[in-house]
Amino acid sequence: MIIVTGGNGYVGKALCQQLAKSGKEVASVSRNVYETQDYKSLVADVTDKESLEVIFDQYPVDTVVHLASMLNTASCKNPDRAVKINVIGSLNLLELCRDKGVNRFIFGSSFNAIGSLPGIHSPVDETEPCQPSEFYGETKRFVEQLGMNMSNIGGFEFLSARMAVIVGPGEPSPNSAWRTDMFNLLKHGGDINITFSLDEIVPLAHYQDIADSIKILVDAEKIKESIYHLPNESWLVSDLAAYLENLSDSLNVTCGDRKLEGIPFFVSCSRFENEFDYEPVQLKERLVLFKEELN
């Protein structure tokens, strides 16, 4: 059994669907039931260890994919809650993996764990010392260290899958609606406000590529490393705005004055792509294909 915490989320649903489609026994674990016949949907809160233990006792859990997390803006606004979810919730799962004989734990980390690394303009790989520059990144990096230490003691594999800024169609986020609007508005048009300034460079990843990459980590017989930067591509915001407007005459794209904080401009994913022979679909192609499907 593979359990995916945060399985009702953006990446979680796509991952659960892919795993189920490949014949894997998979269960989404979230605070609410998601109605689907493709896989199990179980209710538990990662901050409530007893509710999690019921699942581990009921099912033969072999792999845990931990995607449940409080995101950056919300973590900064509510740090005590962020510690409970991002840190204590992760600890609860790691302890259960140790105590219940789970084989592999895949942690949904973030490029925020690396930090902004000012002055470094070449792609950052996994060997670069981390310097988290805000609270959310600190929680992610702490769990990485915690997981690697506990896996050494507990005898299970721990993998950290670091992710870029995720884009794709879906429910808009109140803090960064542009990440979904750039897909959602392709059919009927509308206004997109990319909150970053025109001269910022932002590493982006389509949610489907993230789900594909995590599935590869789930399926792999052997894993060489404990940290992987998942596939991404860096975009100059002015180029992204121009491309979107050229793609659809009905889109009006404006930009804000926000600076990229907490993550590097360029992040190397060659370790993952080389080890698993994976080539992601380019974001331009994702946008074109989605537009064609709408028509």
- CATH number, position 13: 3.40.50.720
Give the residue numbers spanning the domain of 156.
2-165+205-229
User: What pLDDT is stored for residue 121 in this prediction?
Assistant: 79
Any domain includes 272: no
pLDDT > 70 in the chain, percent: 100
User: What pLDDT is stored for residue 206 in this prediction?
Assistant: 97
Same domain, 124 and 104: yes
What band does 75 get if pLDDT is binned at 50, 70 and 90?
confident
Same domain, 138 and 179: no
pLDDT > 90 in the chain, percent: 89
Same domain, 253 and 158: no
Q: Distance between CA atoms of 141 and 92, rounded to whole angstroms?
A: 17
Q: Residue 180 belongs to a domain with what CATH number?
A: 3.90.25.10
Q: What's the structural domain count of the chain?
A: 2
Same domain, 258 and 213: no
User: What pLDDT is stored for residue 291 in this prediction?
Assistant: 92
Any domain includes 275: no
With a cut of 90, say whether residue 35 has pLDDT above it.
Answer: no
User: What pLDDT is stored for residue 163 in this prediction?
Assistant: 98
Any domain includes 273: no
Other CB atoms within a 10 A radius of the CB of residue 125 amount to 14
CB 52 within 8 A of CB 96: yes
pTM of the model: 0.96
Same domain, 80 and 50: yes
With a cut of 80, say whether residue 119 has pLDDT above it.
Answer: no
Same domain, 217 and 84: yes
User: What pLDDT is stored for residue 175 in this prediction?
Assistant: 80
With a cut of 80, say whether residue 295 has pLDDT above it.
Answer: no
Same domain, 117 and 179: no
Same domain, 160 and 187: no
Any domain includes 107: yes
With a cut of 80, say whether residue 6 has pLDDT above it.
Answer: yes
Count helices and strands in the chain by DSSP H and E runs: 11, 12
What band does 93 get if pLDDT is binned at 50, 70 and 90?
very high
Same domain, 22 and 146: yes
User: What pLDDT is stored for residue 174 in this prediction?
Assistant: 80
Region 89-113: mean pLDDT is: 97
Tokens of 10: 């953006």
Same domain, 223 and 242: no
User: What pLDDT is stored for residue 161 in this prediction?
Assistant: 98
Same domain, 19 and 110: yes
With a cut of 80, say whether residue 25 has pLDDT above it.
Answer: yes
Same domain, 219 and 246: no
Any domain includes 135: yes
pLDDT tens digits for range 186-237: 989 999 999 999 999 999 999 999 999 999 999 999 999 999 999 999 999 9
Average pLDDT of the chain to the nearest whole number: 95
Alpha helices in the chain (DSSP H): 10-21, 49-58, 72-77, 79-82, 89-100, 135-154, 178-184, 207-219, 237-247, 270-276, 283-294
Region 147-173: mean pLDDT is: 95
Please name the helix (run of DSSP H) or strand (run of DSSP E) that holds residue 201, with its range, or none. Answer: strand 201-206
pLDDT tens digits for range 260-294: 999 999 999 999 999 999 999 999 999 999 999 88
